[in-house]
Amino acid sequence: MNTHPKKERTLVIIKPDAVQRALIGEIIVRYERLGLKLVGLKMTVPSEEQVEQHYTLDPNWRRVTGEKTIASYKSRGLTPPSEDPLEITAKILKNLKKYMTAGPVICMVWEGAHAVELVRKVTGGTEPRGAAVGTIRGDFVVDSYIMSDNDDRAVRNLIHGSGSVEEANMEIPHWFTKDELIDYKVSREDVMYEAELRNILP
């Protein structure tokens, strides 16, 4: 399994703010109409431990996110609250835990060629303020690091999507057991992935 590119899988979490704003259907349709296949779906209220583990599955996440955030402050001409990347990430993580456990979320696994990259593209950039028009974040949410930092909260960006295939491969088993993921076929896959278009004309 997961050898042919069409078998690539990615984790998507519809975050508590999106559920509250009744955007579940709106979000699902965007991935579905790309031709990606939904292979796992559940509603859950995550625990703080589950959220912390999710974000720290990659042992480098704390350092990388801290460094990225410090650079982002400086590029805006602002002084970061700390020069220590781990201190910055500790604050981000505290706020992420509060945000992600505030209510139910929808966890999904989507499968298809380039699933990770396509989901990221349609979802849009992490900070909604800069997310491209036409992406989910660009079209459905107003928020920025300036606003979220001001209020000492996580940026409300509606969705989590795995950042890479390696990240997806760690995140999927964190949220789903094997039994909760369904291997099945949909007829449109022939049109999308078969080498020849067959059985169309009589």
Judged by CB under 6 A, the stretch of 77-85, 110-118, 147-155, 172-180 that binds ligand GDP is 147-155
Least separation, in Å, of the C-beta of 86 and Mg ion? 17
Distances (CA, A) of 41 to 20, 29, 44, 45, 121: 18, 14, 10, 14, 21
Q: Are strands 37-44 and 159-161 parallel, antiparallel or unpaired?
A: unpaired
- x/- binding map, residues 163-182, to ligand GDP, per CB under 6 A? x-------------------
Say whether residue 92 binds ligand GDP (CB under 6 A): yes
Give the rounded distance of the alpha carbon of 165 from its chain centre: 12
DSSP secondary structure, 48-60, as one string: HHHHHHHHTSSTT
How big is the site for ligand GDP, counted in residues (CB under 6 A)? 15
Say whether residue 31 binds ligand GDP (CB under 6 A): no
Say whether residue 10 binds ligand GDP (CB under 6 A): no
Nearest Cα neighbor of 116 from 190, 73, 169, 57 is 169
Residues assigned a catalytic role: 160
Residues that bind ligand GDP (CB under 6 A): 65, 68-69, 72, 92, 96, 126, 145, 148-149, 154-155, 157, 160, 163
